[in-house]
Amino acid sequence: MAIKKFGHYKAPTVEPITDDLDWWHPVEGSPTMKTWIEHQTEDGKYLTGYWEATPGSYRVKYDVDEFIHMFEGKATLINDGEEPRSFVAGDSFVIEAGFNGIWKTEETVRKAFAIRVR
C-alpha cells in the first residue's frame, strides 16, 4: 500500500491549472477557477487535489464521480429537473456521473476533491 501526502489546501504543492475545465461552460457572471492536481494514477482514472472558483455560474455535465469536501465558500448545484441543493464550508458530498446542470458559486469556493473517471 502506498500513502500519498500532498500540500495543505492553502499551500498546494503544484502549480494550478487556470483554464476552465473542458466540461465547464460559464453561463452567468465572470467566474474563474483554479485546479491543483496533487495526485493522479498512472492510468489517469483517479485524481485528487484542490479546486477554487470565484462567484458566477457554470453549466456542467459530469462523466466522472467526484467526492468533494468544501473548506470555504458557498455553492448551489441544480441538476436539471431537480430542486437546487446548497453546500457551504464544512460540507462533504458526492456528485455522481450523470449530473447535468448548473454549479453556481455564491461565495468563493475552495475544496478538496477525489475524482474517479469511469
Evaluate whether residue 4 is within a structural domain.
no
Residue 2 lies in a domain: no
What predicted TM-score, i.e. pTM, was given to this entire model? 0.91
In a domain, 74, yes or no: yes
13, part of any domain: no
> What percent of the chain is helix, strand and coil (3-state, nearest 5)?
0, 60, 40
- The whole-number average pLDDT for the span 28-50 is 95
User: What domain range is 113 assigned to?
Assistant: 24-117
Q: What is the CATH number of the domain that holds 84?
A: 2.60.120.10
Question: What is residue 11's predicted lDDT score, i.e. its pLDDT?
Answer: 74
113 — phi, psi (to 5°)?
A: -135, 155
Greatest CA separation found in the chain? 44
Residue 82 neighbours by CB distance under 10 Å: 10
Residue 34 lies in a domain: yes
Q: How many domains does the chain have?
A: 1
Average pLDDT over residues 19-39: 95
Instruction: Report how far residue 9's alpha carbon sits from residue 1's, in angstroms, rounded to the nearest whole number.
Output: 24
Assess whether pLDDT exceeds 80 at residue 106.
yes
